[in-house]
Amino acid sequence: MSSSSSHSSPFPLYCRCNEKTQIRVSKTSTSPEKKFHGCKKWNDGGCNFFKWCENTSTTHSQEASESILELERKFSLIEENKTSMVELERKILILEAEMKALKKSNNSESSATLKKLRCLEFLMLSLGWSVFSLL
């Protein structure tokens, strides 16, 4: 059992119905008078969202810290991938220059080398795109 309260939280919480939660007061014998966030429509087909009020600001701080750490990790990964992409682009330019030189010489030995270089270029391009697809 619980009753409604008009107290507001410093951080609005939303239930699974995508509604702002309502702060209620527990009337149970195990947690008498303890405030909690619950769905506004809990007895009218709403969800059964529940979260104690005392943990709200701590939980939000922890969630914010975790989000910041995750963003920093992703930023670091992006920077690493940028460095990898610059190196791959440099290698591709070198390979393209070598391919042009081989096309000009156009002998049977250079033809085999040209095929190897094209395969290597393809692999490097594939690797470059797969690095960005991780993001």
Whether the per-residue pLDDT at 55 is higher than 70: the answer is: no
- The DSSP-derived string for 66-117 is HHHHHHHHHHHHHHHHHHHHHHHHHHHHHHHHHHHHHHHH--HHHHHHHHHH
Closest-CA residue to 37 (of 59, 67, 64, 63): 59
Residue 17 three-state SS: coil
Going by pLDDT thresholds of 50, 70 and 90, the confidence category of residue 39 is very high
Which residues lie across from 72 on neighbouring strands?
none
Domain segments of the chain as ranges: 14-53, 56-127
pLDDT interval class at 100 (50, 70, 90): confident
pLDDT for 24 beyond 60: yes
Q: Which of 45-54, 97-106, 107-116 has the highest mean pLDDT?
A: 45-54
Whole-prediction pTM value?
Answer: 0.34
pLDDT score, position 5: 41
| Highest mean pLDDT out of 36-40, 116-120, 125-129 | 36-40
Place of tokens 């989000």: 67
pLDDT over threshold 50, residue 93: yes
